[in-house]
Amino acid sequence: MKSDPTKWRVRTLQLQRPEHVFFDGQVRPWEEAVLHVSTEAVVRGLNVFEGLKGHWQENGDFGWRTLERHYERMRRSARLLHIPVEFDYDAFRDACFAITAAELRPESDLYVRATLFVVEGHYGEGTVSDLVLTAYQQPQKAPQPIDVGTSTWRRSPDLSMPARIKTSTNYQIARLALLEGRGRGYDDMILLNQSGRVAEGIGACILLVRDGRVCSPPPSEGALESITLTIVAELAASLGIPFERRPIDRSELYIADELGLTGTLAEVTMISSIDDLQLSTDRPVLSALERRYRDALLGIDPHPAVEFAFVPV
């Protein structure tokens, strides 16, 4: 059954304009976060970023999932693009807590985009960066199953733009793939690499199940070095579910027992169909991983792979 392209009309109405932003070292009104048109952040899209998710816990606490691991990945991305990081983890955590205090609501979780922009310098000379945090309200519910397609656009190879650099530049192809998918009525798109094998989704990693084993492409195939995927692998081990990182051919997507996506926002999202080919609604492996992941996120059944930085109250 063909997916319904009209659903995108609803999504375009969900853009948020928060009241506050963390910019130039402190929380400010949204309107004050301004970059000059001549900065490398604007003219060359020079930045690295992290997507952070904070969750209300069953006991009433609010915590940011794997915050230090996100900070360390941001540092690695910045190193590869020669962007200086002038703050330590404690300062990063405090900045996240500051924007949380300004934007947190009792009825929703929070998503923060932490972006390190290059605000001064030219082609690596005199480079100065600034951390900007923008926070968005997120529903307190698990993601629903989605329909996906395979994009005609390809992930860039490591020698062109390494997928392990989490930079906005890397998401230009994802944007094109998303636009392509909207025209075909899909919620998400699968990107292939230059060899025609599976890389990842637009903003999440692939989970493919065959014969009870979960598989996902490694970074060498064009997938992000995903924090969430590492968590899922550890959860799978605790549940006795085999998990491996290996190349995946496009044709394997169509004969998979189960398909899903995993990422900070995607969590563990089931895929209902790919390229209009319906998949089974019986998903015992991914359903078990989804339940275990949500229980750990909400503090119902904690797991050492899902650590939190709890916001002081």
Band of pLDDT at residue 15, cut at 50, 70 and 90: confident
Provide the domain count of the chain.
Answer: 2
CATH number at residue 49: 3.30.470.10
Residue 10 pLDDT exceeds 50: no
* Residues 173 and 130 both lie in one domain: no
* Residues 183 and 265 both lie in one domain: yes
Q: Taking the C-alpha atoms of 132, 138, 143 and 149 in order, what is their torsion angle to the nearest 10 degrees?
A: -50
Averaged pLDDT for residues 196-221: 97
Residue 3 pLDDT exceeds 90: no
* Residues 150 and 243 both lie in one domain: yes
Q: Does residue 306 form part of some domain?
A: no
* Residues 203 and 268 both lie in one domain: yes
Q: What is the pLDDT of residues 128-144, one digit of tens each?
A: 999 999 999 999 999 99
* Residues 286 and 269 both lie in one domain: yes
- Coil, strand or helix at 250: helix
* Residues 77 and 60 both lie in one domain: yes
Per-residue model confidence (pLDDT) at position 313: 74
Distance of CA 203 to the CA centre of its chain: 5
Q: What is the pLDDT of residues 84-123, one digit of tens each?
A: 999 999 999 999 999 999 999 999 999 999 999 999 999 9
Give Cα separations from 228 to 10, 63, 80, 195, 206 (angstroms): 28, 16, 21, 25, 11
* Residues 186 and 257 both lie in one domain: yes
Q: Does residue 1 form part of some domain?
A: no
**Domain end position, chosen among 138, 173, 191:** 138
Residue range(s) defining the domain that contains residue 233? 146-297
Q: Does residue 224 form part of some domain?
A: yes
Q: What is the pLDDT of residues 33-66, one digit of tens each?
A: 999 999 999 999 999 999 999 999 999 999 999 9
- CA nearest to 275, candidates 148, 143, 115: 148
* Residues 47 and 176 both lie in one domain: no
* Residues 154 and 282 both lie in one domain: yes
* Residues 276 and 233 both lie in one domain: yes
* Residues 90 and 227 both lie in one domain: no
Q: Does residue 308 form part of some domain?
A: no
Per-residue model confidence (pLDDT) at position 14: 57
**Domain end position, chosen among 138, 163, 187:** 138
Can you state the percent helix, strand and coil of the chain, rounding each to 5?
A: 30, 35, 35
d(CA 70, CA 265): 14
CATH number at residue 288: 3.20.10.10
Averaged pLDDT for residues 207-231: 97
* Residues 152 and 259 both lie in one domain: yes
